[in-house]
Structure 1
Amino acid sequence: MDATRRTLITGAAALAAYAALPSAGFTAEKRSPVVKTTHGKVRGYVDSEVSVFKGLRYGADTGGARRFMPPVKPEPWTDVKDALTYGAASMQSGKGEEGETLSEDCLFLNVWTPAKPGKAGLADGGKRPVMFYIHGGAYNGGSGASPWYEGTKLARRGDVVVVTVNHRLNAFGYLYLARLFNDPSVADSGNAGQLDLVLALQWVRDNIAAFGGDPERVMLFGQSGGGAKIATLMGMPAAKGLFHRAATMSGQQVTVGGPFNATRRAKAFLDKLGVTDLAALRALSAQDMLAGLKAVDPIAASGGVYMGPVLDERSLTRHPFFPDATPEGLSVPMMCGNTHDETKGFIGWDAKAFPQTWDEVIARLPGQFNARIDIDPETVVAFYRQTYPTYSPADVYFAASTAGRSWKAAIIQAEERARSGAPAYVYQVDWKSPIQGGIFGAPHTIDIGLVFGTLDAKGSIVGTGPESVAMSNTMSDAFIAFARGGDPNGGSLPKWEPYTLPRRQTMVFDNTSRMADDPRGAERQFFNRVPFTQFGT
């Protein structure tokens, strides 16, 4: 079933969709809210007093002749389109979410709003803050349909409008062809996925008031690759004015790919496919295109070929946080966070993957640093053993790989904001996942479920006990406050001060949250002896 049929359900398919949806949404016609957008009318459903619209089309099909080109708005429609199921996700190597279709026709977003249906639809004049979430998965995979991102609880708790989004990924969104083919249709191919996000934000600007949201209070938040996409948007002139707060969660973009390395990657991709001209590349099926991603990355000399945003001198004319924080983003209040044990989230929840000996730590650290931090691993281990004498080999491995691989970029972002006079609100999650007795600490992705309140979602790592609920409420309230006024203060937390130099004020989220100046300062100073290189640059 193609994406249009899948997202714009009619006839018998609509009856099947109704049967699978929460019964509260379809007890009466008044419980099926209809909203008029700039492209046409859409019908959602009600779940727990929140109106839900899934699979809203914000852009036209990007396949066929439009492959590698900037997105365009969809053609308007005259009937009422059902927005009851998630739209297709971008083509990617993985399977996507359960039951999810993968397609080049993937420019869809989802809306959760507490606005009550009435004679004017949902435009009740509420002017609620809009929390626009961008999914992770690097620039390679993922979608806005993860059960971790389900927006009902967050929308209801904060009286906010929640939006999640799909956009083009990997080669479909970031294959830089401008230096390989002298064809204006691929001039923007290296940042097409970012331009999709700009179009989605334009849709929010033009339509979110009809869903009870305030187009002048749009907050971007995103974890991992989502945070990196947000940092990149902060340096894109086309995105300026479309969002008014930004929160990057364990995902930063200090520098983007340069045009020469991006061209080498594109060449490796084409060589893997055995394609030499643009017409042949466009003629490939979307599924066949994915095979090119298996090319060995010519810059990293290992792994699949990287695709990400490019300094193309069109959409991006400078790096987001080099040599300083991009001026376009300085007027946007910013939150920048990380977790204490990021790299424990990269081993598949397998305690057997914990290193057992110091020799094993020394052997495995270079693979975690992956050229981001080029430093002798024996020196790293010696520093940690002296600084933290009670640490086990596993403790040292995860602390060092987190500090070198993930945390360093967050520090750069925060420091450059502080130097530019627009300091960010910085946080660190120390609160431990209850999985397997807490041995995984605060791993990568733990803040997603805490902020969304999706504690019982499939695959959740945050638990549903009283401590989980309390930590989720605290983090949700801070993010909601930030969305509402550009300042996370006002909830149960102690006063949260912006990050300034040399103090480096940081909110540490835990069962008892606290402000700390320069937490893990010894580790920060140690890794300052070598430069950080953003992967993909």
Structure 2
Amino acid sequence: MTADRGNPVVRTPYGAVRGRWEQGVAVFRGIPYAASPFGPRRFRPPVPPQPWDGVRDAGAFGPTAPKPPYSEAFAPYLSDPVVPGDDCLNLNVWTPDPAPGARLPVFVWLHGGALTRGSSSLPVYDGRTFARDGVVFVSVNYRLGVEGYGLFPDAPANPGLRDQLAALRWVHESITAFGGDPGRVTLGGQSAGAVSTGALVAAPQARGLVRRAVLQSGPPETTDRDKVRRMVRRMANRLKVPATAEAFAAVDRARLLRVQADVGRLGSPVLGGPAFGIVVDGDLVPRDPLEALTDGAAPGVELLTGWTRDEYRLWLVPGGLLDRIDRLGAVALAGAMARCRCGGEVPRGYRALHPDAGTAEIVGQMVTDHLLRIPLHRLADGRTEPSYVYEFAWPSHRPRMGACHALELGFVFDSGDEPDARKLAGEGAPQELADAMHGAWVRFVSDGSPGWERWDAGHPVRIFGEGGPRIAHGPRDRELALWATAGTPAEEPAAAPAPTSPELRPVIRRLRRSGVLRRN
């Protein structure tokens, strides 16, 4: 490391970069880890950036990947900055000591956003707090939506995931110059970032690049290839072009985003529907990541995993879906059964465990357990390496949001003073809870133990909630046990049909007879 008029300068394999000293931390923003993924490289795997002469300024965030804005319903809760430009395969580094001999632990962060939105420039992801506490923090931009996860006959699958792998390789090659230790890299993310983390940790091509992993509110999973193809075909029909990478590359980028948003608005984590996702490709993702990880992939990699108590409220409160599901009653429960591929004994069991819960809460917790908590339990149960599990249970001060999806981010990053964090948490989030949660993440990244007992047959879960952190043993075991013998009745479809579908009528009749429903 050298200094340039008081600013830190670090040499990477592709050229030198000049950062900034900010509050005692050296910050380098917008460093390219791969070339621009447009022009002849559209829909193709990433390639290294072109080396540069002189010193490249790294004082500002680099361009964000093309993405549609959040809808009016979600905009009051979620921010998503846009930085224009084509060089969107870039990353940022916060370090307390940009010197090759420092050998500090490294935390590489993959943002969430359903693989269609989000970026590393979101203020709540400010890495200063991790650097302040002795960690070199790296956040990554990667391709999103159809650009990163479209499935075409004339292009390789998973280019967005390949971007993330390229960023990991850049870290392995370059982070020593920023004071980091390439042998002490923790890869982590929230939501889609956690799903990506699970896929990369399981990938043979990432072996040796990751020492530890953090999966916040996202399990190791892949999306059915036919489901992604249907998403691409729907877009192709709207665009009136063939469903090929060549044809999509010729479409105006803004129009492509508008059509993607229009097609994607029909889906949600609770209701299902069309979506982009990571797919098994026989190459980077040779098999289902959860199966691979519970079958011995990623030996020696320690895990920190968890969820928020009321994940589903971010998906259902904006736009009024929570109230609509309560009004739908039996139809909503039947749709949830189809979405989760379970029989009527599961909602009956949830009703017995939570007799005062409304239909929306039953549906939301069922789908959250099916999509998130069950696979994370399987992951922790199926590995011999240490795993640590948490639940974030502090309820937002925003009306009806509860401990919703993404609320924990302001606590993990100790960035609750940021306006973006307050959009979800409201005013007055407890600083002592942020100190506890952020401190646990720093300890895990630094030495592999967040400060509570590792997962075992007793299922210890660290609860971060009102009254301070505590340990609960098996807090979700009764609900998750309902799925052990759950079957799919023959008349139920494998994916959730529309509320008016005649396929649901026999299921609804059975639900009404069984007493699952209560008056809302």
- Normalising by the residue count of structure 2, what TM-score does the alignment of the two structures yield? 0.83
Following TM superposition, by how much is the alpha carbon of 1:410 offset from its aligned partner in structure 2, in angstroms?
3.1
SS in 1 for 2:29: strand
1:455-466 → structure 2 map (5 Å cutoff): 455-460=416-421, 461-462=424-425, 465=428
SS in 2 for 1:321: helix
**Which residue in the other structure is 2:515 paired with?**
none
- The one-letter code matched in structure 1 to 2:296 is P
**Aligned mates of 1:221, 1:324 — CA distance in 2:** 16
Alpha-carbon RMSD across the aligned residues, in angstroms, is 3.1
Following TM superposition, by how much is the alpha carbon of 1:273 offset from its aligned partner in structure 2, in angstroms?
2.0
Of the candidates 96, 99, 104, which is equivalent to residue 114 of structure 1?
Answer: 96
**Which residue in the other structure is 2:398 paired with?**
435
**Which residue in the other structure is 2:47 paired with?**
72
**Which residue in the other structure is 2:127 paired with?**
151
**Aligned mates of 1:526, 1:62 — CA distance in 2:** 46
**Aligned mates of 1:353, 1:480 — CA distance in 2:** 37
**Aligned mates of 2:148, 2:279 — CA distance in 1:** 11
**Which residue in the other structure is 2:276 paired with?**
307
Query: 1:356/1:232 Cα in 2 relative to 1: closer, same or farther (>3 Å)?
Result: closer
Following TM superposition, by how much is the alpha carbon of 1:323 offset from its aligned partner in structure 2, in angstroms?
7.1
Percent identity of the aligned residues? 31
Query: 1:445/1:357 Cα in 2 relative to 1: closer, same or farther (>3 Å)?
Result: closer
Query: 1:279/1:383 Cα in 2 relative to 1: closer, same or farther (>3 Å)?
Result: closer
Deviations 1:316-363 (A, max 9, x none): 11001137625332421011100111112224568x765499654444
Following TM superposition, by how much is the alpha carbon of 1:210 offset from its aligned partner in structure 2, in angstroms?
1.2
1:509-524 → structure 2 map (5 Å cutoff): 509-510=464-465, 511-524=467-480
Query: 1:366/1:220 Cα in 2 relative to 1: closer, same or farther (>3 Å)?
Result: farther
Structure 1 portions without partners, runs of 5+:
1-27, 116-121, 490-495
1:445-460 → structure 2 map (5 Å cutoff): 445-460=406-421
SS in 1 for 2:291: coil
**Which residue in the other structure is 1:473 paired with?**
435
Query: 1:487/1:403 Cα in 2 relative to 1: closer, same or farther (>3 Å)?
Result: farther
**Aligned mates of 1:215, 1:360 — CA distance in 2:** 53
Following TM superposition, by how much is the alpha carbon of 1:169 offset from its aligned partner in structure 2, in angstroms?
0.8
Query: 1:29/1:471 Cα in 2 relative to 1: closer, same or farther (>3 Å)?
Result: same
Query: 1:282/1:530 Cα in 2 relative to 1: closer, same or farther (>3 Å)?
Result: same
**Aligned mates of 1:139, 1:133 — CA distance in 2:** 14
1:164-313 → structure 2 map (5 Å cutoff): 164-178=139-153, 181=154, 186=155, 188=156, 190-254=157-221, 256-276=222-242, 278-293=245-260, 305-313=274-282
**Which residue in the other structure is 1:131 paired with?**
107
User: Contact 2:386/2:454 (CA < 8 Å) preserved in 1?
Assistant: yes
**Which residue in the other structure is 1:485 paired with?**
447
User: Contact 1:505/1:516 (CA < 8 Å) preserved in 2?
Assistant: yes
User: Are residues 1:425 and 2:388 paired?
Assistant: yes
**Which residue in the other structure is 2:17 paired with?**
42
SS in 1 for 2:276: coil
Deviations 1:358-410 (A, max 9, x none): 6544444556x485413467x66643443234x342xx633541342356533
SS in 1 for 2:213: strand
Structure 2 portions without partners, runs of 5+:
71-77, 489-493, 497-520
User: Are residues 1:51 and 2:26 paired?
Assistant: yes
- The one-letter code matched in structure 1 to 2:313 is K
Count of aligned pairs = 476
Flag as ranges the 4+ runs of structure 1 deviating above 6 A: 299-304, 531-535
User: Contact 1:222/1:249 (CA < 8 Å) preserved in 2?
Assistant: yes
**Aligned mates of 1:358, 1:295 — CA distance in 2:** 26
